[in-house]
C-alpha cells in the first residue's frame, strides 16, 4: 500500500515539475519575443543625377514612425549635409524600407525612429567621366543619324534642363525711330498653368497697323501651355513681336525659366554658336558651336534649339538673311527641387491673386 502511495506521490511530483518547466519555458519564450525594430529589407537611395554630375557627397538624417503593422509614416528630415541636395532621395528610400515593428510585453507596438542615410560616390564611379551629358555631344555622332542623336540627348528621368537666358548679337542694329513692338504677357491660373494672354504693350496701334491680336494671343497661349506641360511648369511669360526699318533676327521663344525661379542647387552650361537665319526665320546653318566648352555636332545643337522660334532680320523693311552670335545659358536641375520651388511659387501666386 505504501509503495503505491509512494509511486503516486512521485508521479504527482513529476507532473507538477513538468507543469513548472512548461510555465518557465513559456515565460522565457515571451521574454525572447520582446525585441527592437528589425530590418527586413533596406532599399538603397537613388543617387541624384545632378549630385553625381557635380560629385557631391553627403548624408541625411530621417525620422519616421513605424506603426504596429509595419507601415512607415510621417517621414521627415531631421538634418542634412549639404542642405537641399539629398533630402528627397533619402525620404523616398526610407518609404520603401521593410521593417518589423518592435515587440514589447508580447505585443507589436508603434515606434518613432531615425535613420542616417549616407550618399557616398563609389570609387569605381569616381574614376569614370561624370559629364554624362557630354558623352553624346563629344562622341563624333554623324549628322545624318538624327534618331541616335535624339536618344543620346535624352536626360535621366530625375533631371531636366531649363533655358535661363538667351542673347543675340548681330551686325544689323535696330532702327529705334521706326521700332514698333507688341508685348503679350501670359497670365497663370491658381494652379500656375497658363490661363490667358493680355496685351501689355502695343505700339503698332499708334501707327494704325492692324495685327490679328486674337490669333496671336491664341498661339501664344498654346505655346506657353505646351512649355508648361513639357517642362514642369516653366514657361516664358512675355512674348514680343518687333518690327523696325532695320532690325536683326530675333526670338519668339517658347520656353524660358522666367515663370518660376531656378533651384539654387543647379549646374549652368553655356551654348555658344553662330547661326545663319534665313529670310523666313529658319535656321539655315549652324557654325562653330560649343557646349560645355567643347565643339558640338550641329545636329545636336538643332535639338537644343528645339522650341526656340526665330524671326527674320530686316533692312529697309525687307526680310534679309542675318548671321548672329547666339548664346544660351542652360541650367541642369533636379525635378524634385523644381516641384518644391513650384509649390512655393504657387503659394505666392495665390496670395497675390
Q: Domain ranges in the chain?
A: 38-126, 158-352
| Grid cell listed for 59 | 548624408
- Beta carbons of 114 and 63 less than 8 angstroms apart: yes
Cell 509595419, residue located: 70
Average pLDDT across the chain, whole number: 82
What's the average model confidence in pLDDT over 111-136?
A: 71
Lookup: cell for 7:
509511486
Predicted pLDDT at 217: 95
Q: What is the largest CA-CA distance in the chain?
A: 138
**Average pLDDT, integer, range 52-59:** 91
Give the span between the Cα atoms of 96 and 202, in whole angstroms. Answer: 55
Whether the predicted model's global pTM rises above the 0.75 cut: no
Q: At what angle do helices 335-352 and 87-95 cross, to 10 degrees?
A: 110
> E strands within 82-189?
98-100, 103-104, 107-108, 111-119, 159-170, 180-188
- The pLDDT-based confidence of 78 (bands split at 50, 70, 90) is very high
% of the chain at pLDDT higher than 90: 50
Q: Tell me if residue 154 falls in helix, strand or coil.
A: coil
Q: How confident is the model at residue 294 (pLDDT cuts 50, 70, 90)?
A: confident
Residue 189: burial class (beta carbons within 10 Å; 0-12, 13-18, 19+): exposed
Task: Pick 142 or 293 by higher pLDDT.
Answer: 293
**Pairwise CA distance, residues 135 & 268, whole Å:** 17
CA dihedral 7, 10, 11, 17 (to 10 degrees): 180
pLDDT at 175 over 70: yes
Q: Which residue has the cell 551654348?
A: 271
* pLDDT, tens only, 229-246: 888 899 999 998 899 999
Measured CA to CA, the distance from residue 3 to residue 13 in angstroms comes to 15
In 3D, which of 102, 231, 94, 90 has the Cα closest to residue 160?
231
Looking at domain 38-126, does it have CATH number 2.20.25.90?
Answer: no
Half-sphere exposure of 76 (CA within 13 A, CB side): 5
Amino acid at each position: 500500500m505504501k509503495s503505491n502511495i509512494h509511486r503516486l506521490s512521485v508521479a504527482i511530483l513529476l507532473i507538477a515539475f513538468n507543469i513548472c518547466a512548461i510555465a518557465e519555458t513559456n515565460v522565457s519564450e515571451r521574454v525572447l519575443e520582446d525585441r527592437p525594430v528589425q530590418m527586413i529589407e533596406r532599399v538603397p537611395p537613388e543617387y541624384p543625377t545632378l549630385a553625381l554630375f557635380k560629385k557631391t557627397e553627403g548624408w541625411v538624417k530621417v525620422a519616421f514612425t513605424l506603426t504596429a503593422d509595419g507601415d512607415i509614416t510621417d517621414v521627415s528630415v531631421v538634418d542634412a549635409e549639404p542642405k537641399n541636395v539629398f533630402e528627397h532621395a533619402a525620404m523616398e528610400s526610407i518609404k520603401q524600407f521593410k521593417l518589423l515593428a518592435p515587440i514589447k510585453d508580447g505585443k507589436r507596438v508603434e515606434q518613432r525612429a531615425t535613420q542616417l542615410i549616407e550618399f557616398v560616390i563609389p570609387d569605381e564611379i569616381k574614376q569614370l567621366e561624370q559629364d554624362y551629358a557630354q558623352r553624346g555631344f563629344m562622341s563624333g555622332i554623324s549628322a545624318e543619324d538624327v534618331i541616335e542623336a535624339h536618344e543620346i540627348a535624352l536626360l535621366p528621368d530625375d533631371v531636366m534642363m531649363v533655358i535661363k537666358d538667351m542673347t543675340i548679337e548681330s551686325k544689323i542694329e535696330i532702327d529705334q525711330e521706326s521700332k514698333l513692338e507688341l508685348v503679350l504677357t501670359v497670365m497663370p491660373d491658381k494652379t500656375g498653368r497658363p490661363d490667358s494672354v493680355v496685351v501689355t504693350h502695343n505700339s503698332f496701334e499708334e501707327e494704325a497697323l492692324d495685327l490679328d491680336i486674337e490669333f496671336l494671343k491664341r498661339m501664344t497661349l498654346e505655346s506657353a501651355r505646351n512649355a508648361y506641360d513639357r517642362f514642369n511648369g516653366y514657361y516664358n511669360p512675355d512674348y514680343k513681336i518687333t518690327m523696325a526699318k532695320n532690325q536683326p533676327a530675333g526670338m519668339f521663344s517658347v520656353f524660358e525659366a522666367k515663370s518660376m525661379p531656378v533651384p539654387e542647387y543647379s549646374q549652368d552650361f553655356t551654348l555658344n554658336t553662330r547661326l545663319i537665319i534665313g529670310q523666313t526665320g529658319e535656321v539655315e546653318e549652324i557654325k562653330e558651336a560649343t557646349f560645355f566648352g567643347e565643339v558640338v555636332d550641329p545636329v545636336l545643337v538643332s535639338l537644343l534649339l528645339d522650341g526656340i522660334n526665330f524671326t527674320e532680320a530686316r533692312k529697309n523693311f525687307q526680310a534679309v538673311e542675318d548671321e548672329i552670335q547666339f548664346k544660351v545659358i542652360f541650367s541642369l536641375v533636379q525635378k524634385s527641387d523644381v516641384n518644391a520651388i513650384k509649390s512655393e511659387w504657387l503659394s505666392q501666386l495665390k496670395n497675390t491673386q
